[in-house]
Structures are given as C-alpha cells and as structure tokens.
Amino acid sequence: MNSNIKHRDEIEEQYKWNLTTMYQSPEEVEKDLALVKELLAKFMGYQGKLGDQDTLLEALLLQDQMEQLVEKSYTYAHMKLDEDNANTMSLALFDRVRSLYVHYTESTSFFMPELMKLDFATLQSYAADERFKDYRHFIQEIGRNKEHVLSDVEEKILSSFGELAGAPKSIFQTLNNADLKFGEVLSEDGSPVELTHGRYQSLIQSTNREVRKSAYNELYRVYKSFKNTIAQTYINSVKKDCLFARLRKFNSALEASTHADNVDVAVYNNLIDTVHKNIGLLHQYIDFRKQVMGLPEIYMYDLYVPLVTELKKTYPYEEAVKLVLQGLEKLGDKYVSDLRHGLENGWVDIYENKGKTSGAYSTGAYGYHPYILLNYNDTLNDVFTLAHEAGHAMHTFYSHQNQPYRNASYTIFVAEVASTLNESLLMHYLLNKTNDAKEKLYLLNYNLEQVRTTVFRQTMFAEFEKIVHEKVEQGVSLTPDALCEIYYDLNKFYYQGVQMDDEIALEWTRIPHFYNAFYVYKYATGMSAAVALANGILQGGQTELNKYLEFLASGGKDYPINLLKQAGVDMATPQPVEACLHSFQENLQAAAKLV
C-alpha cells in the first residue's frame, strides 16, 4: 500500500476512462448548452397546442433531442467533477450544466401538466398510431401519475426549487469527498499512511486488530467532529423528501419513492418483515465469526476481516478483469466479448487519486457507451465490485442498443439485479475453481459478508430511512443525538452478539445513499432477485439465459415488477428474499464444516 495518494495527472492514461468519446474537451459542452437553450425557445412554442396529435408528436421528438443533450452534458460534467472534486474548472462546468438543467426543467414544466389535462382516452387513441409506438409506455404513465401532477404554476414553482432541493446532497458530497481529512494511521508494517475512503476499505479488513481498530476510531473521530453539520444537512434532505411527497399528494415520502417504480409500499415493508423474521441467521453468523476468530468479544471493526487469515491474496486489476470475464462465461460469448471490448477501451476509471469521488458506480448517456468509476485497491472485494459495476454497464449497454430513448432507462429497482447476478456467477465460478479448503472458506466467508452487507445491512439502512422520514412526517423534531440513538438501537437489534461502541451510532453520517431516499432497499431486493435468476441460469438451460438477456435488453419498456416476472422471479412475494436467506444459511453451514 502506497503511503501517498497520487494526483490525477500522475495516473497513467490506460487506467483512466476516456471521456473524449462524448466530448473532445469541456469547451465542447458549451455548444450543446447553447443548442439546448435554442431548442427550448422552439419547444415553448408548443405550449397550449399539445392537444393536436401532430403537434404533440413534434413536441415529443424535440423533447427527446433536448433531453439527450442535457443528459450527455450532465453525465460528462458529473464525471469530470468526480475525477477530482477539488478541481475548480470541473466544479464551475458542473455548476453551469446543473443550472441549465434547472432552467430546462423550469422551461418545460408546462408540458406534463398540459398533457395531464388532456382527455386520457384521446391520448390512448394517439398511442394506437404507429408513429407513437415509442411513446406508448410514456402515455400509460401519464394515466398512472395524473393525480400527482400539479397545475402549471405549481409545477413551475417546484421546478425552480430543483437546485435548492439538491443542496443537501451536494453539500454532503463536497464535505465528504473534498473537505474531510482523516489524518494518518499505522499500516500493518507499522508505517504511517494517509487514511482515505478507499484505504479504509482495506484497513478495516486488516488481520492486525490494532490497525483496523485504529482506522475505525480515526474515521469516526472525524465524522463525530462534523456530526452537527451533517445532521442538519441530512435532516433538511429528509424534510425536502417529505415536503415534495406531500405537495404531490402522496401519503408519505416512502409511497412517493416506490410509486416511481410502480412498486407497492408492501414490497418495502415485506423486505423488512422477512429480514426481521430471519434475523437469527445473522446472529448465528456473528457467533460463527467470533468462534473462528477466537475472540472473547467481537466488535464492529472485526466484522470485515477475512476468516482465513493465512490466505492473504491480492488481485491486480489485470487479473481481476480476467477472473470476471471467465466468471461470466455462463452469460454467453457475445456478453463476454462485448464486456471485454469495453474494459479494454476506456470504459473504466480504475484507481484512486486525490479528490476523486469515493466508492464505485456505473453511468452513461444514451447514444454513448457506459462508464465505470472504481477506486481499485487489489482486494477480492474490488474484484467483485468490478463484476458488479460491469453488470450495471452491460445492462445500460444492451438497453440503449435495443430500446428507443424513451424506453432505454431502466429503473433503480431492477438495476441492482444485473449487477448482483454478475457477483453470484463470479462467486460460483471461483468456488468451483478451487479445491483448497482454505480458499473455499475464504470465498464462502466473502459470500456470507455480501449477504450480510447487501441484505441485512441495507435492510437496516432502509429501516433507518423509514423511521426518520416517518418521524419528520409526524412532526417530531430530530436532533443529531436522536439520529444517533435511532441508528444505535437498530444496530443492537441487527447485530446481537457484537459489542456495541459509541462510534457505530455515527455510521449514518457517512452513508451517501441516504441522500437518495429509499434507494438502498433495492440492493436487498435486487440481490434476492439476482440469486434466483443466477440459480436459474446455472441450473437451467438456454431458455433461462435467453429470458435474462431479454431482461437486460428491455430497459424501461415495462414496469420493473413485470420485467422481473417475465425473467422468472416474482418480487411481489417474500419468496425471493426468503430463498436468498436460505442460501445464506446453506453457505454458513458449508463454511462451518471447513473449520
């Protein structure tokens, strides 16, 4: 582990994504911004005329053109900023693009209310016209959302608050990625290293208990010093969620969020209930971990250490690419070939640098190949992160290839299926590849950790979000200490058997996903669906694979629950979550036999 994080210009070009496929330079973005403003003037001329079928078609086509330009410029500016959050030129570009986005939403805010006023039967008759075939699902959505769209004036007012509404998330991102400094800790060899988001993931897995404890304590020492600021940022984000939900005539912020995917709130609550009923499995795993580690007491910073301490493997990025491609061979030659081409041709930004956004994600703009941001650090977790983000990227790649613009974007609810299925297939490949008992235990432990962190932990996050939003909706005044208490109590329930410390009560302060309300539950439901689909591909034949590949190519042409049902899994029932937890139990039993 290097003691110093490199600056962006010190990273070799082959390890950076290539954004020139979108724009040769940031200056080119300005041309698209100017074009959007020009097209907007024309688009606003359609106001009051959308009842005419031909005019409506012209408006829809023009809106598609504008939105693709806005999406392209926003995606590019966002990625440029993520390369280095302290780069003032990138920040200025992102601010200009974001301002245009707000101007765009304000200027087009008349569109949906005007469509909502039209007779829905008339719109359906328009949709029967072959020229509207790409807009049929969109028109169906108009009928479903009709009661939640406000008047022209109200929609314009709401749109004008777009930039302010995004302020809590922007403030947290800047604070978390650019301003917070975590100081230095001692690495395993006793040398001081700068603690960063990326390094923390490696240090918390250290076999040296003092190293991981030191990293854990230092990280939360810094977050504690900013507890009040982050609490106010988060509370205002929650208040914004609740306000917008109320204004749009939803019963709760949770209902507003699940409505976007046409998912019943019961799916969210069923996840929490099903995990609660099976929480004993997590407690069994904690007891197993304590036993294997030979510790009289186990703390939160002990949960991430590989149980096979003798098997200390590193995975250079090139090896990770090879393993991922081999692990995904069950998805067919074309899938593997397309992914290999992407990984070798500028899709991925691989290593951490100063100011780079932490974590990992995949993004993309219609008409261009997808991109993947990593902070690769040679761990097994990083290998699986590559497989995960590759799943997102290929889902985007095939959706964009096979769907018109209006139907190309899949919802977040199904997004985690493609990514987690890749992880399941990779795990299956690696377990079958080795006959070494220690390596099998290492991999089984990794798989158990994936379920712990993706199903149990994300469900705990989801429950935290639900409680906090409900308290705001009930008029309860939240404080930093109240948030810490809620989070601490949830940890006591979920992690029975772990010695609770004061630091864990602060974990909510560092979770970026909380600024996208009710997002994280989709990791848990996504993993459950992915395990079911992966088992079908592994145990079935070409039919199961074809259904899955058709799912990847479907984008957002139908509602997510329907798309998953067509692929072979019904998320309206508790069964997929129960099946995933049953798999967790089987792997725990298999691991126990190896120690």
pLDDT tens readout for residues 279-331: 999 999 999 999 999 999 999 999 998 888 666 788 999 999 999 999 999 99
Q: Contact 52/60 with Cβ under 8 angstroms?
A: no
β-pairing, 371-373 with 348-349? parallel
Q: Contact 167/176 with Cβ under 8 angstroms?
A: no
- Per-residue model confidence (pLDDT) at position 26: 87
Per-residue pLDDT band for 332 (boundaries 50, 70, 90) equals: very high
CATH 1.20.140.70 domain locations along the chain: 8-165
Q: Contact 376/343 with Cβ under 8 angstroms?
A: no
- Residues 471-481: tens digit of each pLDDT: 999 999 999 99
The residue-averaged pLDDT of 403-417 equals 92
**One-character DSSP codes across 303-340:** TTS-S-TT------HHHHHHHHHHHTGGG-HHHHHHHH
Residue type, 176: N
- Residues 448-469: tens digit of each pLDDT: 988 999 999 999 999 999 999 9
Query: Is residue 442 scored above 80 in pLDDT?
Result: yes
Phi, psi of 30 (to 5 degrees): -60, -35
% of the chain at pLDDT higher than 90:
84
Residue 389 annotated in active site? yes
> How far apart, in whole angstroms, are the C-alpha atoms of residue 553 and residue 202?
36
The residue-averaged pLDDT of 522-535 equals 92
Q: Which residues of 353-376 are buried (b: 16+ CB within 10 A; e: fewer)?
A: bbbbbbbbbbbbbbebbbbbbbbb
CATH 1.10.1370.20 domain locations along the chain: 249-312+410-595
- Give me the residue label for tokens 């984000």: 237
Alpha-carbon dihedral of residues 125, 126, 130, 135, nearest 10 degrees?
-120
Mean pLDDT of the chain: 94
Say whether 575 sits in a helix, a strand or coil. Answer: helix
The residue-averaged pLDDT of 544-557 equals 96
Catalytic residue among 71, 155, 389, 416: 389
- Residues 216-243: tens digit of each pLDDT: 999 999 999 999 999 999 999 999 999 9
CA atoms within 13 A on the CB side of 545: 14
Task: State the fold for domain 249-312+410-595.
Answer: Neurolysin; domain 3 (1.10.1370)
Q: Contact 137/558 with Cβ under 8 angstroms?
A: yes
> How far apart, in whole angstroms, are the C-alpha atoms of residue 335 and residue 105?
37
Query: What CATH architecture applies to the domain 8-165?
Result: Up-down Bundle (1.20)
- Per-residue model confidence (pLDDT) at position 310: 61
Say whether 69 sits in a helix, a strand or coil. Answer: helix
- Per-residue model confidence (pLDDT) at position 348: 98
Residues 6+ apart with CB under 8 A from 477: none
Q: Contact 72/106 with Cβ under 8 angstroms?
A: no
User: CA–CA distance from 398 to each of 180, 401, 478, 520 (Å)?
Assistant: 38, 5, 44, 24
> How far apart, in whole angstroms, are the C-alpha atoms of residue 486 and residue 488?
6
> How far apart, in whole angstroms, are the C-alpha atoms of residue 179 and residue 49?
50
Per-residue pLDDT band for 1 (boundaries 50, 70, 90) equals: very low
Q: Determine the distance from the C-alpha atom of residue 194 to the mean position of all C-alpha atoms in its chain, rounded to a whole number.
A: 27
**One-character DSSP codes across 113-172:** HHHHHS-HHHHHHHHTSGGGGGGHHHHHHHHHHGGG---HHHHHHHHHTHHHHTHHHHHH
Query: Is residue 2 scored above 90 in pLDDT?
Result: no
- Give me the residue label for tokens 């301490």: 309
- Residues 10-66: tens digit of each pLDDT: 999 999 999 999 999 988 999 999 999 999 999 999 999 999 999 999 999 999 999
Question: What are the beta bridge partners of residue 362?
Answer: 372
- Per-residue model confidence (pLDDT) at position 412: 82
- Give me the residue label for tokens 């100063």: 354
Residues 6+ apart with CB under 8 A from 196: 5, 182, 352, 358
